Structure 1
Amino acid sequence: MVAQARGASGDRRKWIIGVSAVVVVVALVIGGVIWTIADRNRTEGQVINPGASTSALTGDVTQKRDGVVAIVGKTGAKASIDVYADFLCPICGEFEKQYKSQIEQAINDGKLQVRYHMVPLLNERSSPPGYSLDSANAALAAANAGKFLQFHDALFASQPEEGKRGYDKAQLIELGKNVGITDPEFAQTVNAGTYDQQLNAAFQQIENDPKLAQDFGGGQRGFGTPTVTANGSIVSWQDPNWLTKVLG
């Protein structure tokens, strides 16, 4: 009887330990899921920092929209470049960190005009999808208000991670207000997705333009962001002196 009692007690301890292990595993799984969701949605409710935009353009720099292109520069600038980028693209973010100051200095000096093409290349790569297109549309609305570069710089400085949540329309509208846009048409344009159809149509043309195709190795060739062109040819922006060469 004593042996039986000890055996039963041992079985009960094993059962308790087994249940405890299962509870710990379940807790870890649930905790991991909650952490993953929180990490994925960390931009939710955030105010995009307008102070992250260090754009300091001089007063005679023109910022305007031309179709689905934002043009920034002074009248009479001798050099011009086209920059194709996506607000979600991490390499575009690196490009901005590396060359933003040089580009904006050349704009201020009256040496350079920049045509910004914000393309929805990664529109399906945010969670939920749509951030690339929403931000591109909002940037064009900011160009209408003469605040494109301030808006552009702030979005790249506080860039969301690819594969995670971007910023919603309300957050984009709030950023517009915080960079000095007072025209109520800005919010209307953002909410309506006014330029969405035009942006998608332009993107299809860009993707199919052989002049914008590049080799990525492994037999892969096509359009990618960021792409910079000058005088109709692709510029190798990985060369630290590319802008000096463009300016002549």
Structure 2
Amino acid sequence: MSKRNSQESKRAARERLRIEREKQAKKAKIRRQLVIGVSVVAVLALATGVGVAVKKMNEPSGWDAAKDAKLVTPANAEGAKGTRVVIGGEDAKNRIDVYEDLRCPACASFEQSAGKLLQKGADDGKYKLQLHLGSIIDNNLGGEGSKNAISALGAALDVSNDAFRDYHEALYSKKHHPEETNDEFADDGYLLDVADSVKELKGNKDFRQNVEKGTFDKWALGMIGDFEKGKVDATPTVKVDGKKVETEQLPAELQKLGVDLGGGSGKE
């Protein structure tokens, strides 16, 4: 082989080596770019995920969320904010206000013994009967049964006044009212089971949906706010024309208002 051919071969070999190195360098650069790109996407995805998680953690839930929810008022509620619930004697001159907590065992006993008599006097037009519902036991013992039951009663009031009254009676009945420390009213399923004893509510899809979705949760908080304006520290509390009356004195007060006590006490 001539010297010239030998030099040409060496140059060709060097050129091929250069080209190969450039190819490898290009491939390496592409691999680095892909790794960097995937890493950036992963970091962004992680950051987004963390951001969403943090946002979710900071978002209010349950009854905290209800405070900021849109107010939905039951169809048959009264007053500017729908927190006045009159269950009889709408046009009567005199008024009886009853303050109750749905988890309260003393309220259950009161309703089981005097509830029907109170309702009868209102239905006979002797007085306007207005109901106020609070959450003293939720506040003192923890839980949310008082609030949740008020919301469910709102769903019943949305159906009709009669549905509200019958459901209110059923919740306080010996059969359905739980122990004070047992927060069963916090369970929508339990509230719906009780509602099955009320003709207008059994199988009522709108009522069920409103209970499960908490449609009237904010309204329930408004009811509790109205209750607190009454400045009562125990339940049940009864006021006749604004004056507090002890429950054992109630029959005499009802008699003064023209209620026939011989019509039955409503005891079970």
| TM-score interval, normalised by the smaller of the two chains | 0.5 to 0.7
Aligned to 1:106: 121
Alpha-carbon distance, 1:74 to partner: 4.3
| Aligned mates of 2:211, 2:182 — CA distance in 1 | 21
Q: Give the stretch that moved more between structures: 154-163 or 176-185.
A: 176-185
Alpha-carbon distance, 1:131 to partner: 1.0
Matched residue count = 174
State the AA in 2 paired with 1:224: A
CA deviation vs aligned residue, 1:100-149 (integer Å, no higher than 9, x gap): 1311221332323211112122125678x211111111112111212111
| Aligned mates of 1:125, 1:201 — CA distance in 2 | 19
Q: Percent identity?
A: 28
Q: 1:190 aligns with which of 196, 199, 211?
A: 211
State the AA in 2 paired with 1:162: E
1:79–1:88 CA distance, 2 compared to 1 (3 A) = same
Where in structure 1 are there 5+ consecutive unaligned residues?
A: 1-62, 214-221
Q: 1:164 aligns with which of 158, 182, 188?
A: 182
| Aligned mates of 1:126, 1:83 — CA distance in 2 | 22
Aligned to 2:194: 175
State the AA in 1 paired with 2:181: G
| Aligned mates of 2:245, 2:221 — CA distance in 1 | 24
Name the one with the larger strand percent.
1
| Aligned mates of 2:76, 2:244 — CA distance in 1 | 24
Written as runs of structure 1 = structure 2, the 5 A alignment for 1:1-248 is: 64-66=76-78, 67-124=82-139, 129-146=143-160, 147-157=163-173, 158-167=176-185, 168-180=187-199, 181=201, 183-204=204-225, 206-207=227-228, 209=229, 212-213=230-231, 223-239=233-249, 240-247=251-258
| Aligned mates of 1:232, 1:164 — CA distance in 2 | 33
Name the one with the larger helix percent.
2
Give the aligned CA root-mean-square deviation in angstroms.
2.6
Rg: which structure is higher? Answer: 2
State the AA in 1 paired with 2:209: Q
The answer to whether the Cα contact below 8 Å between 2:98 and 2:239 also exists between their aligned partners in 1 is yes
| Aligned mates of 1:126, 1:169 — CA distance in 2 | 19
Q: Secondary structure at the match of 2:248?
A: coil
